[in-house]
Amino acid sequence: MYSVRMRATKDEMHISGAERLVDEKDVKNVTQSMIERARSHDRGKPDKINISVEEIKIPIKEITSLPINLFNVNSVEDGKKAARKVLIHIGIPDPCIEKAFTLLENGPSDGENMRGAMVMNFKGERLEPDKRRGIRASHMDITPGASLQLADALSVKGMTLHFTHIKEALVLASKVASVKGTIAELCWSDDPFYTTGYVASNKLGYVRIPHLKTEGDYHGGRVFFVDNVNITDYIEEIEKTPVLITKFDGLGEISDFNNIQENNT
């Protein structure tokens, strides 16, 4: 199989990105699809599109996705309260939560977004070696069968239009959660037109929260909260180990934090 990755920028600002694990016969079509996606993004037409095609030469790790919990809120204030409650329940120290929110809200790289994720331990220390780049979860995808399971579940909820956003976020969150030492992830997009984010963990699954920022805000990113990790080994697995989701673990809907059920799968 091959890892096919795309990153599109305009004036060095991120516009679009995508990633797939595909058979050799599908590389050409997938590459063309990624180029078209980059050229039609609502953030504008990029002036640079980078495509990388890399043969996978190590065993692919097959996993089941995190389950999805839809946490329904109606405002940014409620969305951030919900995210904080979920992180506290998972066991993230409050000072770490507040630091993570402040960094994402204001730009963790001297007021600008990072290309990758921050890695934060329970002391609130950032562990990523490059504080401008961060670390980038990569080499991951979902099988057609698992993707269809996800699509069917979203269709029942009337959320088909959100399929691509949710699928790509779920794949990344599931890979990150599968890496030893990951306790939780907090994320919302740097896309000013997409205000939904999530908190993900093995304990509570992928908790999708609308309204984690106001429309028009270009700040965003992600934080991996970790405990007891060798940062070199952790980055190697996040960035290099190929992961394929072969099963979707289901979707639930909640309106009250107290109704969240822990993931025991």
- Per residue in 24-41, pLDDT (tens digit) is 999 999 999 999 988 887
Please state the pTM of the whole predicted model.
0.92
Percent of the chain residues past pLDDT 70, beyond the cut: 95
Chain CA centroid to CA 240, Å: 16
What does the block give as tokens for 264?
A: 């025991």
pLDDT of residue 263: 58
- Measured from the Cβ of residue 233, the count of other Cβ atoms closer than 10 Å reads 12
pLDDT of residue 97: 98
Could you tell me which residues come within 8 angstroms of residue 55 by beta carbon, excluding any fewer than 6 positions away?
A: 1, 2, 3
